[in-house]
Chains A and B, each alone.
Chain A
């Protein structure tokens, strides 16, 4: 654990790769069970692994091995690494690529995962005169105001819903609408802000990106069916991508 009470990226990578000593592994598991911020960071690493193995690797491995050989790398070594990549979880080669992918934070802190082509959500909070970026797991207070910045990445419609610690759902964007709001291409700050109420506990912000407008009631119904776990796009009819962002609300 670092001096700020969180697990560092290399420790999480090492944990994912299964290369940590047993005692360090136990420490990571203990911390992960209690720290939402590190849980989000670890989920981001797992997502990056998946994207790498399913998308990046098959598309790029051949050219990369060719380049490695052309630059004087051993043919045998390059091919061994290539072969090892999709098969083994704990190779140096995988670590290399995971390190890069996980260090490429696309502006969403460590939690809001965004890979190529995926929409992204970023949350800013204002407390008094201070404005700061909210990271997953951060602690906000009643009265704090939050605003959303999104990158639609090709999605044309957006619906943002809040789920309180008790499971209550509220529509945040577009306010008081019956369906998704239309998006313009490119990064945008959504108008208006939300003042957080006094209900304590974990608040989940669920942004549902889609290519056609979705009815608020139908999305709410899907979310009720999903319950407490983070929803996926597959669980919401018509959704193209879902970004989930958790933060804590505490009394000042």
Chain B
């Protein structure tokens, strides 16, 4: 998600520190703990991406596949990654867990502590916005947002 090894290392350290600080919140079973860690690490990395975007604009300057259609585009992790900064915050973590971490909807719900219905709605919202972005521009431009209406 971060696509930067240095930031990744920093993220590892920061999440480790947060985990130590909130150890009482960590579920006692291993699988529960793993999901808890997915949640805080995903949120932390999304914040890093957001801050980076604000600071210097997107670093995502890979050559882009020409004219990806929306459905195909969402199968492309690179496209999903670019879309993350162009959709509302509440859609980002579900999109990361579903499209980048390959979880199913119930798994995303479990990690984020929200209902499966909410996950489905947010993923639908994410897809709708992705279609709009991809159809409107033919490609994903970093740093531009579409309206939430």
Contacts and interface: CB of A to CB of B under 8 A. Distances in A.
Contacts of B26: 92
Contacts of B69: 130
A124 B65 contact: yes
A20 interface: yes
Name the interface size band of chain A: 35 or more
Contacts of B7: 104
B9 A96 contact: no
A10 B34 contact: yes
A132 B65 contact: yes
A132 B31 CA distance: 34
B1 A187 contact: no
12 contacts: A17-B30, A64-B13, A73-B17, A77-B23, A97-B15, A104-B45, A106-B2, A116-B6, A117-B5, A129-B67, A130-B67, A149-B63
A122 interface: yes
Given A10-B34, A92-B30, A107-B78, A72 B21 contact: yes
Interface residues of B, number: 54
B107 A10 contact: yes
Given A13-B34, A56-B12, A96-B37, A68 B104 contact: no
Interface stretch (B50-58, B83-91, B95-103, B127-135): B95-103
Contact of A92 (B1, B9, B19, B67): B19
Contact of B34 (A77, A99, A109): A99
Contacts of B142: none
A32 interface: no
B62 A187 contact: yes
B122 to A, nearest CB: 16
Nearest to A63: B13
A78 interface: yes
A106 B3 contact: yes
Contact of A116 (B9, B62, B63, B100): B9
Interface in B61-95: 61-63, 65-69, 72, 75-79, 81
B2 A3 contact: no
B8 A100 contact: yes
Contacts of B77: 105, 109-110, 133, 135
6 closest A-B pairs by CB: A116-B5, A73-B20, A131-B65, A19-B30, A68-B20, A9-B101
